[in-house]
């Protein structure tokens, strides 16, 4: 070969190698776009292979096509961490010794950070753990709207406001999917309570559906690009959400352009014909009759298994829908398990622990701090009394499908002891006994919380410990047991359980420096609110719970969380309870003889959920949506707009100067609510449409600019079935919370 040719070939191979490293390793590059690979794979599959692919083969997996080298699809819970491996067809864990995870804070806490960067950190970290465990679908995040404070699963979701949920869910999805793992946003849609979750038929206006309950899912699809979505258990318009034509075809596919996989909730499919025609792609967990039927693989009894194949073979249905389902699943496979470039992930790493701690510290909300009792001043402290079961009880085990087997979980008491060290004495008393159990799905906490003492004995000990302490910190709230913050059950009332109110009130009498930390994923009543100087919303914070709480309580971290839902003073202050029909139509509930009856529930409060209701009814909440204090203070200047009038294709920007007038660095969340002064349909007084979290050093000030377009001014006109921004007068309401208003700017839409 002559020199010239050699040189050319050498140059070419160098170019190819360089270009490969510039994009992706050549040896892995299939060169074909995913859609071509999907079509090619589909055309090679037999009818039986296609039907096997669209339903579960085990508790958390569905079949691939070994003959073609197409792998199985493996799903895993949950939204706060990667569930321990389970046995093939069981809920109980398999007892592996290499699947302990990092538990991240519950999504209410993530939402309370009001910081999309925390969402991305969260998604990336949990996605790395799912990837390392070789899971293709992470069954989360959940974004159902907080309609009632009694909903057992509110802790898994992002609060009462559609804009906050929509903004915070997108970076989580992207973070997960960067790992080659599909997010699976749930539970689509209208799963706003656990009571009768399989049989409640939700009825509501299209306005409420489009303005309140769908936006987070729409953002997940159109901005987050979620690769899968989970149908919910409940019914809507008389059809189960897992095979609901309106939700899964008309809205999800036709209006939003979703190209991912619709996964059923476990046992959420009830009808083969509907599942075929109404857009259910991948059926999981429909209660295999692995006992009496004696079939080789009970999963073949699933609605989208043999029954479907039979209909096809009898010529009663075609294979058009089958191919659509298989195409969606193949697309997910090529995006996940067959993506040759995805990263390797990691499990239980120090980095993941630190990510969880960071998110926790940013999500903790300082609700009240009279006389600046907080932060605890360790230099002037000899003794800290810690009271309450939630100071020691593990919260990562239990609560339903989000339950975890963690590498570690630092309790509030341990976190405080670690931080305080020898600087002060930390003395503990139980205060009350709530739920001494510690096991879920075979995962054991190993804690022995058994305590047979009477309520009075426990209280006496607590008061004894507390009366001469420099600080008393009460850790109470809810837990992950039934009728607390737990899947498949709702709470019976707004109040704290286990007679905690009595303990708190008595502690307040013996020590003025009482701090109450409410560990929960839901609002609770606080009859003692005026007797307790400092109150902290502590959330379920995961593996680094104690570290994060101690950091805020002693002041290493300046709290910057803001409430993602309203704390009502009483249940009647909530639209769903004032107007009903939570938990369902009364007459039907009274008449229904067994759990299987469909119960109708109309959302009479319509769009007036959360602060929208409180504003409309002029109710003073215990603590308002968006509320959260700091150890420093922020002063806002007078806000201004870059224009007085805007047109429909314009944007408008509002600028406000924020100054840290305190003595330490802090973060503030500047919130922008839009108020439509005159509209042809009833509208909330104001609605959150933008926010920004800013970090300011002492004395530092920053111009914060929030820009919105006509979308932020629009409401959904369900008569016309479209979003409408009506010309007229509007106000931009700038606040440090939905009630702490710092400035208002009027403007007009032409």
The residues annotated with a catalytic role in the active site are 265
Site string for ligand GLC, 342-381 (x = CB under 6 A): ----------------------------------------
Strand duo 235-236 + 383-387: pairing: unpaired
Instruction: For residue 671, give both structure tokens.
Output: 């919130």
Cβ neighbors of 368 (< 8 A, separation 6 or more) are: 529, 532, 533, 534, 535, 623, 629
3-state secondary structure of 263: strand
DSSP classification of residue 96? -
Out of 401, 489, 585, 692, the residue judged to bind ligand GLC by CB under 6 A: 401
Judged by CB under 6 A, how many residues of this single chain contact ligand GLC?
Answer: 6
The smaller minimum CB distance to ligand GLC, of residues 401 and 714, is found at 401
Q: Which residues pair with 443 in a beta bridge?
A: 440
The smaller minimum CB distance to ligand GLC, of residues 80 and 186, is found at 186
Asked if residue 139 binds ligand GLC (CB under 6 A), the reply is yes
Q: If you write DSSP's letter for every residue of 32-65 in order, what string do you get?
A: S-HHHHHHHHHHH--HHHHHHHTBEEETTEE--B
Asked if residue 195 binds ligand GLC (CB under 6 A), the reply is no
Asked if residue 186 binds ligand GLC (CB under 6 A), the reply is yes
DSSP classification of residue 544? G
Nearest-CA neighbor of 104 among 84, 78, 85? 78
d(CA 227, CA 379): 52
DSSP classification of residue 210? I
Asked if residue 266 binds ligand GLC (CB under 6 A), the reply is yes
The 10 Å CB-count burial string (b at 16+, else e) for 439-474 is: ebbebebeeebeeeeeeeebbeebbebbeebbbbbb
CB of 402 to ligand GLC, least distance (A): 8
CB of 187 to ligand GLC, least distance (A): 6
8 Å CB contact between 150 and 193: yes
The smaller minimum CB distance to ligand GLC, of residues 401 and 445, is found at 401
8 Å CB contact between 621 and 614: yes
Provide Rg for the chain, Cα atoms: 27
Asked if residue 55 binds ligand GLC (CB under 6 A), the reply is no
8 Å CB contact between 134 and 343: no
CB of 204 to ligand GLC, least distance (A): 21
* Phi/psi of residue 683, nearest 5 degrees: -135, 155
CB of 633 to ligand GLC, least distance (A): 41
The smaller minimum CB distance to ligand GLC, of residues 139 and 519, is found at 139
CB of 489 to ligand GLC, least distance (A): 12
The smaller minimum CB distance to ligand GLC, of residues 289 and 319, is found at 289
d(CA 546, CA 410): 5
CB of 507 to ligand GLC, least distance (A): 37
The smaller minimum CB distance to ligand GLC, of residues 91 and 723, is found at 91
CB of 139 to ligand GLC, least distance (A): 4
3-state secondary structure of 510: helix
Out of 265, 544, 601, 676, the residue judged to bind ligand GLC by CB under 6 A: 265
Closest residue by beta carbon to ligand GLC: 401
* Phi/psi of residue 215, nearest 5 degrees: -50, -40
8 Å CB contact between 411 and 391: yes
The smaller minimum CB distance to ligand GLC, of residues 137 and 674, is found at 137
The smaller minimum CB distance to ligand GLC, of residues 139 and 466, is found at 139
Q: If you write DSSP's letter for every residue of 452-507 in order, what string do you get?
A: ---HHHHHHHHHHHHTT-SEEEEEEE--SSTTSS-TT---S-SS-STTHHHHHHHH
CB of 727 to ligand GLC, least distance (A): 43
The 10 Å CB-count burial string (b at 16+, else e) for 496-521 is: bbbbbbbbbebbbebbebbbbbbbbb
CB of 76 to ligand GLC, least distance (A): 9
The smaller minimum CB distance to ligand GLC, of residues 398 and 546, is found at 398
Site string for ligand GLC, 567-586 (x = CB under 6 A): --------------------
Burial of 316 (C-beta count, 10 Å sphere; 0-12/13-18/19+): exposed
CB of 488 to ligand GLC, least distance (A): 7
CB of 406 to ligand GLC, least distance (A): 18
Nearest-CA neighbor of 474 among 434, 441, 503? 503
The smaller minimum CB distance to ligand GLC, of residues 490 and 687, is found at 490
d(CA 441, CA 93): 6
d(CA 667, CA 303): 52
Calculated CA dihedral for residues 249, 609, 585, 157, nearest 10 degrees: 60
d(CA 701, CA 624): 26
Site string for ligand GLC, 74-93 (x = CB under 6 A): ---x----------------
CB of 229 to ligand GLC, least distance (A): 12
Nearest-CA neighbor of 609 among 193, 161, 308? 161
Asked if residue 221 binds ligand GLC (CB under 6 A), the reply is no
Q: What angle do CA 682, 686, 691 make, to 5 degrees?
A: 145
Helices (H) and strands (E) in the chain, counts: 20, 30
The smaller minimum CB distance to ligand GLC, of residues 266 and 334, is found at 266
Give the N- to C-terminal CA distance of the chain in Å, as an integer.
75
Asked if residue 403 binds ligand GLC (CB under 6 A), the reply is no
Kindly report the length of the chain.
Answer: 750
The smaller minimum CB distance to ligand GLC, of residues 49 and 156, is found at 156
The smaller minimum CB distance to ligand GLC, of residues 153 and 417, is found at 153
CB of 282 to ligand GLC, least distance (A): 13
Instruction: For residue 234, give both structure tokens.
Output: 């409940």
Instruction: For residue 324, give both structure tokens.
Output: 């659509």
Burial of 103 (C-beta count, 10 Å sphere; 0-12/13-18/19+): buried
d(CA 173, CA 158): 14
Binding residues (CB under 6 A) for ligand GLC: these are 77, 139, 186, 265-266, 401
């Amino acid at each position: 070969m002559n020199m010239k040719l050699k040189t050319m070939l050498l140059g070419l191979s160098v170019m190819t190698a360089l270009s490969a490293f510039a994009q992706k390793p050549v040896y892995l590059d299939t060169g074909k776009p995913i859609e071509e690979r999907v079509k090619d794979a589909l055309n090679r599959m037999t009818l039986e292979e296609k039907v096997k692919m669209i339903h579960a083969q085990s508790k958390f997996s569905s079949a691939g096509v070994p003959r073609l080298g197409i792998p199985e699809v493996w799903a895993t819970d949950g939204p706060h961490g990667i569930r321990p491996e389970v046995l093939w067809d069981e809920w109980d864990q398999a007892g592996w010794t290499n699947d302990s995870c990092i538990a991240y804070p519950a999504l209410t806490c993530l939402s309370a950070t009001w910081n999309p960067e925390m969402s991305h950190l969260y998604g990336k970290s949990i996605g790395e753990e799912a990837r390392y465990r070789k899971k293709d679908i992470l069954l989360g995040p959940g974004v159902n709207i907080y309609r009632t404070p009694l909903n057992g699963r509110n802790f898994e979701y992002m609060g009462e406001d559609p804009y906050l949920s929509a903004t915070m869910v997108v970076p989580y999805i992207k973070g997960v999917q960067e790992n080659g793992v599909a997010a699976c946003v749930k539970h689509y849609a209208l799963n706003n309570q656990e009571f009768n979750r399989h049989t409640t038929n939700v009825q509501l206006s299209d306005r409420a559906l489009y303005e309140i309950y769908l936006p987070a899912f729409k953002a997940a699809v159109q901005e987050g690009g979620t690769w899968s979505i989970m149908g919910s258990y409940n019914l809507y318009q008389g059809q189960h959400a897992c095979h609901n034509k309106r939700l899964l075809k008309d809205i999800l596919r036709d209006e939003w352009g979703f190209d991912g996989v619709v996964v059923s909730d476990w046992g959420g499919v009830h009808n083969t014909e509907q599942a075929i025609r109404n857009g259910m792609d991948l059926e999981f967990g429909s209660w295999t009759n692995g006992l009496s039927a004696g079939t080789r693989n009970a999963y073949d009894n699933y609605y989208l298994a043999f029954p479907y194949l039979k209909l096809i073979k009898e010529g009663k249905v075609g294979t058009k829908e089958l191919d659509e389902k298989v195409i969606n699943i193949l697309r997910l496979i090529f995006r996940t398990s067959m993506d040759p470039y995805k990263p390797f992930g990691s499990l239980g790493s120090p980095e993941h622990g630190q990510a969880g701690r960071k998110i926790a510290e940013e999500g903790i909300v300082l609700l009240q701090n009279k006389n600046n009792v907080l932060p605890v001043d360790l230099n002037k402290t000899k003794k800290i009394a810690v009271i309450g079961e939630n100071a020691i009880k593990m919260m990562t085990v239990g609560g339903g499908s989000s339950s975890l087997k963690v590498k570690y979980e630092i309790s509030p008491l341990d976190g405080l002891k670690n931080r305080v060290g020898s600087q002060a004495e930390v003395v503990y008393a139980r205060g009350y006994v709530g739920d001494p159990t510690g096991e879920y799905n075979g995962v054991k906490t190993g804690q022995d919380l058994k305590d047979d003492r009477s309520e009075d004995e426990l209280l006496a000990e607590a008061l004894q410990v507390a009366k001469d302490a420099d600080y008393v910190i009460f850790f109470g709230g809810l837990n992950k047991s039934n009728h607390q913050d737990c899947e498949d059950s709702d709470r019976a009332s707004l109040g704290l359980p286990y007679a905690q109110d009595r303990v708190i009130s008595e502690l307040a009498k013996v020590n003025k420096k009482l701090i109450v930390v409410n560990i929960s994923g839901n609002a609770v009543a606080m009859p003692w609110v005026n007797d307790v100087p400092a109150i902290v919303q502590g959330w379920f914070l995961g593996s680094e719970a104690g570290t994060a709480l101690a950091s805020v309580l002693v002041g290493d971290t300046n709290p910057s969380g803001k409430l993602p839902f309203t704390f009502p003073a009483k249940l009647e202050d909530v639209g769903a309870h004032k107007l009903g029909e939570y938990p369902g139509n009364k007459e039907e509930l009274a008449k229904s003889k067994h759990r299987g009856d469909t119960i109708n529930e109309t959302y009479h409060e319509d769009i007036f959920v959360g602060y929208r209701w409180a504003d409309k009814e002029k109710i003073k909440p215990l603590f308002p949506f968006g509320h959260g204090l700091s150890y420093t203070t922020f002063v806002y200047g007078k806000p201004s707009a870059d224009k007085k009038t805007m047109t429909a294709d314009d944007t408008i920007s509002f600028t406000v100067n924020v100054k840290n007038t305190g003595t330490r660095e802090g973060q503030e969340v500047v919130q922008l609510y839009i108020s439509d002064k005159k509209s042809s349909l009833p509208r909330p007084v104001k609605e959150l449409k933008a926010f920004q979290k800013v970090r300011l050093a002492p004395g530092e000030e920053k111009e914060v600019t929030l820009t919105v377009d006509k979308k932020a001014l629009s409401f959904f006109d369900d008569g016309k079935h479209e979003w409408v921004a009506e010309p007229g007068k509007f106000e931009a309401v700038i606040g440090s919370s939905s009630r702490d208003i710092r400035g208002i700017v009027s403007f007009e839409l032409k």
